[in-house]
Amino acid sequence: MKNHFLKKGLFYWAALLLLLSGAAWAAGGMDFSQSPEVSGTQEGAVRMPKQQERMALNYVNQPPLIPHSVDGYQINTNTNRCLQCHGVEHYRATGAPRISPTHFIDSEGKVLAGVAPRRYFCLQCHVPQTDASPIVDNTFTPSKGFGQ
């Protein structure tokens, strides 16, 4: 019986910690004001370029990589810096690729007027591209017809 209460207590503490950390994250948003660097490579830290050509995708439905720095970008529940260039109202004027129509479909398949909540935080899937060496060696090769 003692183990049951211990497990239940740990579960509630873990749930509370997760809830509080999520609330703190949502309130503060994601702040990318620090200089973006990739560390842990064989050559040391690698700075991401401000603008570069888009890298080829490696497999079907791969989220495109970001060909520019996201230094200073704010993405939180109130604002999304990415949409200022890639949103449907702005992409023509900025010349940026338009956000995919799939980003307007909610988890139940309903088409929304705005970006679906599960697609709003762009940097969950899209990451800045860099030519940094892999931190961990791997044998990945792109799908046929993709990559290089």
3-state secondary structure 44-109: EEEECCCECCCCCCCCCCCCCCECECCCCEEECCCCECCHHHHCCCCHHHHCCCCCCHHHHECCCC
Domain edges within the chain: 29-124
Q: Which residues are annotated as a binding site for heme c?
A: 68, 82, 85-86, 103, 122, 125-126
Contact status, residue 116 vs residue 103, Cβ threshold 8 Å? yes
Cα-flanking dihedrals φ and ψ of residue 49, to 5°? -70, 155
Q: Which of 30-44, 82-96, 121-135 has the lowest mean pLDDT?
A: 30-44
Contact status, residue 82 vs residue 122, Cβ threshold 8 Å? yes
Of residues 50 and 60, more confidence is placed in 60
Confidence (pLDDT) at 89: 92
Average pLDDT (109-138) is 90
**Tokens linked to 1:** 């019986």
pLDDT in tens, 58-115: 888 899 999 888 888 899 989 999 999 999 999 999 999 999 999 999 999 999 999 9
Average pLDDT (111-136) is 90
Q: Among 3.40.50.970, 3.40.50.11260, 1.10.1130.10, 3.30.70.270, what is the CATH number of 29-124?
A: 1.10.1130.10
Q: Which of 7-11, 13-17, 23-27 has the highest mean pLDDT?
A: 13-17
Degrees (nearest 5) of the Cα angle 135, 64, 117?
A: 105
Confidence (pLDDT) at 33: 46
- 44 beta partners: 41
Of residues 40 and 68, more confidence is placed in 68
Contact status, residue 115 vs residue 125, Cβ threshold 8 Å? no
User: CA-CA-CA-CA torsion for 76, 116, 51, 45, nearest 10 degrees?
Assistant: 60
